[in-house]
Copies of this chain bind each other. A is one copy, B any other.
Amino acid sequence: MGELAATRRRRADQARQVADLIRGEIVHGRFRGGRLPREAALAREFGTSRNTVRAALGLLRDEGLVERCPGVGTTIAAEKVPHGLHRLLGLAETLHEHGEVTNQVRTMTLMEPPPAVRQRLGLGPGEQVVYLERLRRLNGLPLSLDLTYLIREVGEPLFDADLVHNDIFVLLERIAGRPLGVAELTLEAVNADPHTASVLETPRGAALLMVERLTHLSDGRPVDLEFVRFRGDRLTMRGHLRRAGDPAYEHAREQARGARKEEQACL
């Protein structure tokens, strides 16, 4: 990054730039041993000064991603696990390679939903929902706090289910006797309020990945409205986007269109 230095950019800008590249390497699993190279080696690798490397590692330490010990060097503080964004998956499903997900049920109750919930779940006045609040752990460490509203038909049988060891998604499909379909998803970054921080065992104000998700059965019925707070230092979301629809999808549609024409020609 000799040219960068030449533009006399502020060290904070350079540190951010280096920190992003190191964060990427950590998240993509380059440092499998859990230890980062020494400052001097990183300075060479990124073509920058040791002071900039030190500032970059300081940023990652403040994020909770690495720990720095004099004499020991820089080690990865906690694995940041990837939650798949390519299809609709429960937490245990998407993290099965990363360890055991267990769920602590904090609240479970039948309730009269407020209009905001009733409307999203397509319920009439007076229809009740099951409200469920879970603290979810991966290998014993808090990962997310989930607030879930379920239509009564699929929610009530959950009172007798093993919620500690199962994703709701898997249980819902068993109860409904049909697969889930589409979920509408909204992602946000929010700061942990003091009470949420204490539940998730993370510092006050820690960045959380917040997900609102309305899940439908394959027949289109909305059944499950969720508000999930993931610890930002423990999880990433990973997926693909295409510029113009899915090319395989477009290709298949094209083929189907041609085929229909041929069908007509055959008649």
What does the 1/0 interface line of A6-36 toward B look like (CB < 8 Å)? 1101101101110011101101000000000
Of A208, A243, A256, most B-chain CB atoms within 10 Å: A243
Instruction: Tell me if A63 counts as interface (CB < 8 A to partner B).
Output: yes
**Residues in chain B near residue A114, CB distance under 8 A:** 1, 21, 45-47
Q: Which of A245-260 contact B (CB under 8 A)?
A: 245-249, 252-253, 255-256, 258-260
CA distance A38 to B130 in the complex (A): 28
Q: Are A13 and B106 in contact (CB under 8 A)?
A: yes
| Given A59-B193, A256-B255, A187:B4 Cβ within 8 A | no
* Identical subunits present: 2
Q: Are A133 and B13 in contact (CB under 8 A)?
A: yes
Classify chain A's interface size: 35 or more
Q: Which A residues are within 8 Å of any B CB, using their own CB? A: 1-4, 6-7, 9-10, 12-13, 15-17, 20-22, 24-25, 27, 45-47, 59, 62-63, 80, 82, 85, 87-88, 106-107, 109-112, 114-117, 120, 131, 133, 147, 169, 179-191, 193, 195-196, 205-210, 212, 218, 227, 230, 232, 235-249, 252-253, 255-256, 258-260, 262-263, 266
